[in-house]
């Protein structure tokens, strides 16, 4: 590390004003500050204290928190693949299969996203503020494994340009870029983002699977449960093979088909613990989101009818199905797009959970309500903040006049 720092110090003058590679200053600086905390300290005068925890360090914490979900996702990809084939495979074999499938998606998302950001930084001659470090890892975790790579690249570029750069880059975006990528994919290429062929690797290439195999996710199974099935045996989830049913525990652990990183609630909880311990994410958003989802789930349970059996799905199942947990922990808490005021965070989080279950149950076309709920609340969070601040001003004015 020392040697690297020395090398950077040595080549630095080339990139300063008047240096040989002056044009590349912004890009050099991005790499430098990514590797090392910038050597700027608090000025002697004034009342500011600057923490070494800048946005790049903040991002690294989120990346670390994502690692459990990523690794589990890789293993699960392989596990589902061999399960569909009807073969038994060892742990390492499964993991390596998943690694080969998932790694290209990670690389493509990083190259497409960072490439776009670098081009914009170069044009604007501004220092890069690396927001894409996290987005680049989030994107592979929220897409199905069967997604073609070029689609990931196209959607990532569109999302970074119209979701982030037009608003002025990192920190100025209104909606979460990773989630916007998923939304663009979802509406652009619906055949590759939903259905029961794309969640298990190899299934869409006409892979020969064992009998009676269906690659549908438990969320999709729940949504398509008919009222006859419901009265007969209640909600039952299958893991494809031989209609092997999965329990709540299986879904919590995550060995079910689904987007790469979203299946395992346990791994997401580990990530959540890291985020909360370091104080990067807001516990208020997570908690109130949970409350909102449970409340909406209970309301549906109370008014469940025959016409929409999905309403009868127990509220606790909602929490482990689909992208709910992942979205709540990693997407809704994005400090840029979430509400900024403390009171606003409660409202924001609650509505995210509430609307997610609402969309999920009542709109059969969009089983993944979490994505739409977070994007919608992203748009509304400045409004929430505005009214929270106005309310506070009013309260204080009243106190002053009293």
Partner 1 sequence: MAKNMKLVTSPLNLNNPILVQVLGICSALAITVKVEYAIIMSVSVLFVMAFANVIMSLLRNTIPSRIRIIVQLVIIAALVILVDQVLKAYLYDVSKQLSVFVGLIITNCIIMGRLEAFALGNKPFESFLDGVGNAGGYALILIIIAFVREVFGSGTVTLPGLGELPVIPQAFYDFGYQNNGLMILPPAALIVVGVIIWVQRSMTRELIED
To partner 1, the closest distance from the beta carbon of 207 in angstroms equals 16
Per-residue CA distances from 130 to 136, 158, 204, 223, 384 (Å): 11, 18, 35, 39, 27
The two tokens of residue 314 are 């127990």
Q: How far is the CB of 364 from partner 1 (least distance, A)?
A: 18
Choices 76-84, 144-152, 219-227, 306-314; region in contact with partner 1 by CB under 8 A: 144-152
Shorter beta-carbon distance to partner 1: residue 188 or 229: 188
281, 327 contact by CB (below 8 A): no
Radius of gyration, alpha carbons of the chain: 23
Tokens representing residue 221 in the block: 């199974």
| Residue 190 binding partner 1, by CB under 8 A | yes
The CA-CA-CA angle for residues 331, 335, 339, to 5°, reads 95
Angstrom distance (rounded) from CA 186 to CA 180: 10
> Which among 196, 228, 221 is positioned nearest to 209, based on CA atoms?
196
Nearest residue (CB) to partner 1, 187 versus 277: 187
Establish if 184 lies at the interface with partner 1 (CB under 8 A).
yes
Report the nearest approach of partner 1 to the CB of residue 120 (Å): 12
For residue 167, give the DSSP letter: G
What are the CB-based long-range contacts (under 8 Å, 24+) for 51-59? 55/129, 55/130, 55/131, 55/170, 55/171, 56/130, 56/133, 58/280, 58/335, 59/130, 59/131, 59/133, 59/134
Q: How many residues bind partner 1 (CB under 8 A)?
A: 13
* Least distance to partner 1, CB of residue 188, Å: 4
Piece of 150-158, 233-241, 251-259, 331-339 that binds partner 1 (CB under 8 A):
150-158
In the list 11, 24, 188, 247, the residue contacting partner 1 (rule: CB under 8 A) is 188
Instruction: Choose between 180 and 384: whose C-beta lies nearer to partner 1.
Output: 180
Q: Does 139 help bind partner 1 (rule: CB under 8 A)?
A: no
User: For residue 212, which phi and psi values (nearest 5 degrees)?
Assistant: 55, 35
192 binds partner 1 (CB under 8 A): yes
- Give the residue, chosen from 34, 36, 118, 189, that forms a contact with partner 1 under the rule CB under 8 A: 189
Closest approach, Cβ 137 to partner 1, in A, equals 24
Q: Does 363 bind partner 1 (CB under 8 A)?
A: no
Verify binding: residue 197, partner 1, rule CB under 8 A: no
3-state secondary structure of 238: strand
Per rule CB under 8 A, is residue 167 in the interface with partner 1? Answer: no
Both tokens of 17, joined, read 């004003």
Alpha carbon distance 334, 282 (integer Å) = 9
Instruction: Determine the interface stretch with partner 1 among 73-81, 114-122, 184-192, 232-240 (rule: CB under 8 A).
Output: 184-192
Q: What is the binding site for partner 1 (CB under 8 A)?
A: 148, 150-151, 154, 162, 166, 184, 187-192
């Amino acid at each position: 590390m020392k040697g690297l720092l020395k090398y950077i110090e040595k080549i630095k003058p080339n990139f300063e004003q008047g240096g040989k590679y002056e044009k590349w200053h912004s890009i050099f600086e991005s790499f430098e500050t990514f590797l090392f905390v910038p050597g700027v300290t608090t000025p002697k005068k004034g009342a500011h204290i600057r923490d070494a925890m800048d946005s790049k360090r903040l991002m690294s914490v989120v990346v670390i928190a994502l690692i459990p979900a990523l690794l589990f996702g890789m293993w699960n990809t392989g596990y589902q693949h061999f399960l569909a084939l009807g073969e038994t495979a060892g742990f390492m074999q499964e993991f390596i299969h998943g690694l080969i499938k998932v790694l290209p998606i990670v690389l493509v998302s990083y190259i497409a996203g960072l490439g776009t950001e670098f081009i914009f930084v170069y044009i604007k001659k501004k220092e890069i503020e690396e927001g894409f470090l996290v987005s680049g890892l989030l994107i592979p975790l929220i897409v199905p494994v069967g997604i073609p790579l070029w689609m990931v690249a196209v959607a990532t570029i569109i999302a970074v340009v119209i979701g982030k750069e037009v608003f002025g880059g990192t920190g100025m975006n209104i909606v979460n870029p990773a989630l916007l990528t998923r939304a663009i994919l979802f509406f652009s290429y619906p055949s590759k983002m939903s259905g029961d062929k794309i969640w298990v690797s190899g299934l869409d290439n006409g892979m020969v699977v064992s009998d009676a195999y269906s690659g549908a996710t438990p969320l999709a199974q729940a949504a398509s449960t008919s009222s006859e099935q419901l009265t007969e045996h209640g909600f039952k989830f299958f893991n494809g093979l031989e209609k092997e049913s999965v329990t709540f525990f299986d879904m919590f652990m995550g060995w079910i088909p689904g987007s790469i990183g979203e299946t395992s609630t346990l791994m997401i909880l580990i990530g959540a613990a890291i985020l909360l311990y370091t104080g990067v994410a807001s516990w208020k958003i997570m908690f109130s989101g949970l409350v909102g989802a449970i409340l909406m789930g209970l309301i549906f349970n109370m008014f469940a009818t025959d016409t929409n059996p999905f309403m009868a799905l127990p509220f606790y199942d909602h929490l482990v199905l689909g992208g709910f947990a992942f979205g709540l922990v990693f997407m809704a808490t994005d400090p840029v797009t979430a509400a900024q005021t403390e009171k606003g965070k409660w409202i924001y989080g609650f509505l995210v959970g509430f609307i997610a279950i609402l969309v999920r149950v009542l709109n059969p076309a969009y089983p993944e309500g979490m994505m739409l709920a977070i994007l919608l609340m992203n748009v509304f969070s400045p409004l929430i903040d505005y009214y929270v601040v106005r309310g506070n001003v009013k309260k204080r004015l009243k106190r002053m006049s009293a």
